[in-house]
Structure 1
Amino acid sequence: MMFAAIVRSFDCAPKYELVDTPEPSESSEVLVDVLAAGLHNRVRSQANGSHYTSSDKLPLIPGIDGVGRLPNGQLAYFVAPDTSLGTFAEKAVIDLRRSVPLPEGVDPVLIAAAMNPAMSSWVALHRRVDFQPGQKVLVLGATGNSGQMAVQIAKLLGASQVIGAGRDQNRLNSLSALGADVIVSLAGDPEAAAKRLGEAASEVDIVIDYLWGKPAELAMLPLLTQRSDRSRKLTWIQIGSVAGPTAAVPSAALRSANFQLVGSGQGSVSTAGYVAEFPALIDAISAGKLQVNSVSFPLSQVEEVWNAPAGMGERVVFIPSVETERAL
């Protein structure tokens, strides 16, 4: 038996319960001791049934990635298989093909906190577009955890200008320290915000979009119509849908400019493609090239922490046991 966070209703926070320990069933699987697992937005949508990969199957153990100790003692970062047995547990069955070993001395909490929010923009810029150093990037939804990472990653990979756009003014103000050259407030009237975006970001080469919905819909034409050369390609990478699952794409956007709309996420990038990017991203995080504000809690506090408001920019990481927390 082991302790785990269990979701029994999509309307309630997970509860800390004693459950059967899972067992490997394939030759590529092993049982690991989970040292740290992050509470990402993706985990919350998994636990409330709203993610596009979610099924209606309950109960489930949430958690989509983590740092674990392999049977041979090696630490590894891993992404959980798409099952109801996630990483918010003392032990988890992992597929070794979806894991990479960690360098000695790496902080498991730091890796668990940073990998998921960093992965979306890192993989998008490496796998979904032909990003070149010197290009300009707009991060739409830059005040979220993934958006803050995207600002840093775009700059790290050589963007000549990074524009961060979001609603939370306090978080917007913090983006300059992360590498943003320009910030744009999306607060207030949506059409006025779209106009501000068009004025500030019409010359970008790439949009990394975590919002979608009305903000994306309204911003497309202002960005495109004010470009000095509409034949120069603008690639819009759709990653998140915080502002809504749908957006009406104006037909003029596709006809009057060299406008490319792509998505990046599970399915558009293979599992092997994600895993291939893990080592370089882990190196960047462990070398301190990406800032992350992590805060850890024992997994036994999952219900309490789940319902508590997060601090600004904090990335919550759960530690499966008090003993493991002390060891770290």
Structure 2
Amino acid sequence: MFASLRAVRACAGFAMLFIALLLPAGSAFAQQSAADFYRGKTVTILVGSPPGGGYDLYARLIAPYLAKKLDAQVIIENRAGGSGLLALNVLNSSRPDGLTLMNASAEGAIMSKLTDRPGARWDLQKLNWLARVSTEPKVWFVARNSKIHNFDDALHAPKLMWSATGPADNISDVVAVLSAATGLHSKIVNGYKGAKDMALAVANGEVDAGVLTVSSVLPMLKSGDLVPIAIIGHKRWPDLPNVPTIFELTKIAPDKTWWIDFREQVGEVQRALVAPPGVPQDRVDYLRATLREVLTDPAVIAQGNKANLPVSFLDGVALQKQIENIMQNAAGDHLPQIQQVVLHQYF
């Protein structure tokens, strides 16, 4: 009798242990299940700009390392259009299986939602943010033979023409914010396809000035085809140590500095990998863990630095919280003013 009772208790103990192993979403079983799911599959990384731009180059840097970690095929699909709106909307409506990702402009997505940009159908807090890939400041530049040589020249120009892809594209909004803070007489010209086209428009004299993320324009700055004027932020950037910040070039009125502070905060999340809403949590966790391994791999970092693509990783959980915080707090009471300036004033 006692032997039978001991046998029953032993069986019950084994059953409880088995159930305990199965239940937690973050358990080894769940992780193994996600790993099995990706093995041999094809993962697509969407890019909302043409080949050759910064977002495309970062995606292609990451793809082979991610493929090796997942034991899967990883392909890049460029879906340019709507200043990144098209690709992010495609991601948002894609099948929630974790096989479609995007190397997205998190800052552009935030600005589109803050300004109620038509066509921005996604909910930032329902998207699954996986990892920040990089964050850099924006640099203001002009052509080598430009009549604009410094900030004072720009300030006294009757009209300063800037290249952009569209409203709230994470370029035109930076120009608008810079102009509102400093008093530049700016006119933003939309319709360019991506970073390369915007930079060439400045170099060829189609427009007077441009703003891009440092790495997107660094080769043309080093070659001398373009000349930097200022870093749009509070700190100089290591790749351009002799280029002053906008705060070094001019005294911005105390009631105007919030423009730069606001846009700099939005820019902290910059390039980020994201999955659509509804992806099973174990796959989200697995992708986040895998991308941590990829983006902290010394080989990836070294290859990125060699190609002027610096990696500045932030894990997906922290990134998700940071985006939510920006959406809730960054604009404060200034939101109506931001919407007017970013979407209308300089077009």
TM-score between both structures, scaled by the size of structure 2:
0.28
**Higher RCO structure (Cα 8 Å, ≥6 apart):** 2
Higher strand share: 1
* Structure number with larger C-alpha Rg: 2
Higher share of residues assigned helix: 2
